[in-house]
Structures are given as structure tokens and as C-alpha cells.
Amino acid sequence: MKKIIHFTGMQSFKFGSLERYFLHLIQQCSDEGYKTILQYETMPSSQSYLDELKKSGAEVMVFPTYGNPWRMFINCLSCLREIKANIVHTHFTGRNAKLVIPIIARMCGTRRIICMVHNKPPYQKKNIARFAYNLYHHVLPVSKSVESSLLTGGVKPDILNAHYLGLFGEKVRSKEDRVLFRKKFSIPGEAVVLICISFDAPFKGVDILVEAFQILYSKHKNIYLLSVGVDVGESRLPALATELGISDRVRWAGIVDEGWKTLSAADIYVQPSRSEEGLPLAIMEAMAMKLPIVCTNISGNVEAVADGKNGLICKPTKEDLAAAIEKMILRPDSWREMGEAGKGRFLELFDGKKSVEDLIGRYYL
């Protein structure tokens, strides 16, 4: 059987939209006669995700591609020699692995070697990383902004093509779920709820959102902030909310499977990216659920959100984010129209089925 290996370079802590994308990709590849192997840095945490992977016939391999370069080289060499993959597809692998994997793959006779770039590299001129990228047959940035940065860094234009990811399944906000989640997180029914789905990393900017919320806290007594995806046991953000005196109106859902479902509790989605974002799947989820969006003007955010149409765009500072959120709060009559515009834009740009079909048809076969 023909084989595809994805070097994810990931630690997967939930069953989210990226995991769902992998599952649909695995199924479509199976229909084309390919078996899929997924490399992870650690075993995925979600048992539901692991169960679905087992049903799909995919195999999971666990070994690190970060850390000790020599160990990484041996791991990748052993893996590719054993699997003899027809297609190698990398994702979040580190710099050393990004260079080593295509070299080994070529030595092993791999037919197609693909690098998907999920985050925006901060290239201002030609960068030494171009030598690694240019070893691939295809380099697929997940947004046009990432594509532009890679071009600046010296990646060859003829191997570079922006490729949007997408979502699967109907995503609809319901009154029942709105009541259910608000009750679960002790949020009053009449409150205006801001929501953000993101893990805690500097480039995600969730700390900016927490500080922006403090600016609004005393002016708007009926607003609440619901955070989904932050590891409350490891993150300092809950402590920051306490220090700022706003913890009574901030709710931490933690890391949960299918976190998009909590969007039913919200009125406004906020994406506070500080830097490096490719194009967050959470923005797509909010668009699919017809939520108006406030986001920062970072990378792919502005490809998803049309300022004034399906959301508001601002600079990544607490002052600017607070001002944009307040502007949205004070315009409740625009929320429905913006939500409808976002849904239309989502259907046009981020259909998961089309994304997977294009990926396989243009770059795998």
C-alpha cells in the first residue's frame, strides 16, 4: 500500500478543528489508496481523537523532532527508512527537522515532499531558512500573508502556493447551548460575552485581551470574558486576571475537545494575536457560527475578517483592542449583519471538503 507520513511536530492536547481536518484528509487519502502515518512529539491527549484515528486506519508514531539534533536525525532517518513513504508532509517541525527531513526523504526516494507553514516567519529579507524550504517540492503557507513573508525570505516562487485550511460539519449556535454553557460557566443570561479560543503563547496575545478587558471592566458592568484552550494549571493568565481585579467576570474553560461548541455562549469573538499567526482556525469557527469578530491586524486575520463588514480590525495593543471591543459592544444592532457576512465569507474561503480535495488533487497525486 502507498503511504503518507505527516511530521506534525505537534503536541495535541484536544480534539479540535485541526485534528478534524487530519481525519478527513486521512479518509480521502485512504480512498485514493494511501495509508496515513501521523508523527507527534507526544501521544495525543484526547482519547476520542485517538479512537477516531484507529477507526480511520491511520497509525500514530511518537518521537521528538525538537531538542537534540542528533537524536532528531536518527529518529527521522529510522522512520523514513522503515515506512518508505510515497509522500512526506511536514507541519510544525523545528528548524533542524525542517532541513533534515527533505534530505532524508530524497535519499529514500520519496515521490512528493511537502512543507505546510502554519505560522508567519518574521522575514524582512532573504533568510538562511530558504535553503531548507527550497528542498521541498511544494511549500504551502496557510495564508497569503505567510506566503508573502516566505517570498521575502527567499523561498522559490514556483514551489510556493497559499493553501487555506477549512472546517467540516455544520456549526450552528443554538439557544439551548447558549443557556447550557452560560449556566455551566456561571454567566448571567443578559450578559455580553466575549470569547477567545486559543492556547497561551506570547504570539497568541491572550494576555493583551485580558489587559484590554480590564480597561472595559469598570465601564461595562455586564460584560464577561470566556477563554477556551488555556491550560489553567500551567498558564499565568488566571493569576494575571486576579492581579488586575477582573477575575470575577473572567471564565476559564480550559482545554476541551470540540471547543468551538462553547461559541454558542458568546456574543462577540475576539482574536488578540500579537504576531506570527498564520490564519487561526478559531476565527473560521467564529465565522461559521455567525459571530461578529474583533481581531488584530496580524497576518491571516485580515484575510478572514473584512474590517467593518464581518468584524473590526485593530492594532495588537491593549488600548486599541479595548477600543475596538467597546465599539463592537456599543453596536449590537450590527452583530447579526456582521455574523451573516462572516458566514458567507466562511463558505467562500474555508470549506474543509474543498480544501482537502485541492490539497490531494494539486499536491499529492
Same domain membership, residue 73 and residue 14:
yes
pLDDT per residue as tens digits for the range 105-134: 999 999 999 999 999 998 989 999 999 999
> Which residues, 6 or more positions from 91, have their beta carbon under 8 angstroms from its beta carbon?
6, 7, 8, 9, 10, 116, 118
Assess whether 96 and 204 both reside in one domain: no
pLDDT tens, 128-153? 999 999 999 999 999 999 999 999 99
Residues 133 and 42 both lie in one domain: yes
Beta strand extents in 25-111 (DSSP E only)? 34-40, 59-62, 87-90
**Which pLDDT score is estimated for 297?**
97
Cβ contacts of residue 2 below 8 Å, gap of 6+? 33, 34, 35, 86, 87
Band of residue 1 on the pLDDT scale cut at 50, 70, 90 = confident
Q: What is the pLDDT of residues 310-359, one digit of tens each?
A: 999 999 999 999 999 999 999 999 999 999 999 999 999 999 999 999 99
pLDDT digits (tens, 9 = 90+) for 25-82: 999 999 999 999 999 999 999 999 999 999 999 999 999 999 999 999 999 999 999 9
Mean pLDDT value across residues 357-363: 97
Is 74 in the same domain as 53?
yes
Grid-cell match 532573504, residue found? 126
Task: Kindly state whether residues 193 and 338 are assigned to the same domain.
Answer: yes
- Domain residue limits at 342: 175-349
pLDDT at position 103 is 97
- What does DSSP assign to residue 277? B
Asked whether residue 94 falls in the same domain as residue 235, the answer is no
Question: Which position has the grid cell 455567525?
Answer: 290
- What does the pLDDT read at residue 357? 97
Examine the domain organization and report whether 41 and 88 are in the same domain.
Answer: yes
Identify the pLDDT of residue 104.
Answer: 98
Spatial separation of the C-alpha atoms in residues 300 and 279, rounded to whole Å? 4
**Do the beta carbons of residue 189 and residue 182 sit within 8 Å?**
yes
DSSP secondary structure string for all residues of 144-213: HHHHHHHHHTT--GGGB------B-S-----HHHHHHHHHHTT--TT-EEEEEE----GGG-HHHHHHHH
Give yes or no: residues 344 and 356 share one domain: no
Beta-carbon contacts of residue 174 (< 8 Å; ≥ 6 apart): 264
Determine the Cα–Cα distance for residues 307 and 249; give it in Å rounded to an integer. Answer: 28
For residue range 152-201, what is the model confidence (pLDDT) as tens digits?
A: 999 999 999 999 999 999 999 999 999 999 999 999 999 999 999 999 99
Co-location of 138 and 183 in the same domain = no
pLDDT digits (tens, 9 = 90+) for 216-235: 999 999 999 999 999 999 99
pLDDT for residue 276 is more than 90: no
pLDDT of residue 203: 95
What percent of the chain has a predicted confidence (pLDDT) above 70? 100
**Amino acid in the structure at residue 190:** E
Per the structure, the count of domains in the chain is 2
Say if residue 183 is in the same domain as residue 267. Answer: yes
| Whole-number percent of the chain with pLDDT over 90 | 97
Q: Same domain for 137 and 181?
A: no
Cα(185)–Cα(288) distance, rounded to whole angstroms? Answer: 23
Confidence of residue 236 (pLDDT cuts 50, 70, 90): very high
> Residue 243: its pLDDT value, please?
98
The CATH number of the domain holding residue 214 is: 3.40.50.2000
For residues 25 and 125, membership in a common domain is answered with yes
- Identify the DSSP state of 266: -
Contact (Cβ atoms closer than 8 angstroms) between residue 160 and residue 114: no
If phi > 0 it is left, if psi is from -120 to 50 it is alpha, else beta; for residue 205 that is left
